[in-house]
Structure 1
Amino acid sequence: MVSFEALYGRRCKSSIRWFDAFEEKLLDAQSRHKEYADRKVRNLEFIVGEQVLLKVLPMKSVMKFGKKGKLSPRFISPFKILNRMEDVAYKLALPPGLSGVHPNLSNEEEPISILDREVRKLRSKEIASVKVQWKNHPVQESTWETESDM
């Protein structure tokens, strides 16, 4: 290393020092990003009786709320808050057209019937599977599950 300093007039930067510098810059960038994000985040609390917009996620090639794809709305009309369920969960007064939306607090899937059976053969074993229709789902959304799980 001494010959390097004599030749170039500065100390040699080893790969270890480069890694330390990189890690230090990464930590600086992370803390800067956290500061920017913390400025934008705010705690929202709503009062029972207030009107709020419901955020919906558009699905590709699915017609929702009269528009398809990119043009489908991100938020739909204001709904009245009936009561507060948890810190960030509220019960809303939804119209009958949105009755298919399931409440997140009680989203337990229950099997209704077994539509089909199938045995898949691997090299050393066989796996028995059943096609299950779930409660509150059409037949097209039935899934294959292992027979031992059912």
Structure 2
Amino acid sequence: MKIAQDRQKSYADKARREDQYQSRDFVLIKVSPMKGIRRFGIKGKLSPRYVGPYEILNRVGDWAYRLALPNSMERIHNVFHVSQLRRYVTDPSHILSPDELELNEDLSYEEMPLWIMDTKVRTTRNRDIRMMKVMWSRHGAEEATWEVEQEMFKAYPHLFN
């Protein structure tokens, strides 16, 4: 029994991450902190995973850190669990500022379609499905997605005027 427990512990330890941060370190905050909540609609591949960087002010308990958040995020509690943080590595290409995203209180934001770039009909065994390639706000043409026309009409009727 002890051998089996040790083996399972070694598997669990590989996935476990025990990051330790110091005061004055910079970290990124996870935007969608809870599982099962679909932020940003169904466009998961377009959604940013982290925002920041933010400076760590101090450690609160064993697994939490207090961050220096900007005034635009004053309604958000400034203490975060270590699992919601990632160490900041200097690279300006992955920084998303919360001012550009207009974050809600639950660290989510609304992505809006700008225009329809292309349309096509996808044929299955039983029916034809009309699809459209949609250009989204704050994203380039290479990140446009194919969406079902009927669902887009329900969610965004202003695109069809």
Q: Structure with the greater relative contact order (CA < 8 A, sep ≥ 6): 1 or 2?
A: 2
TM-score surpassing 0.5?
no
TM-score normalised per structure 2: 0.42
Specify the structure having the higher radius of gyration (Cα).
Answer: 1
TM-score normalised per structure 1: 0.44
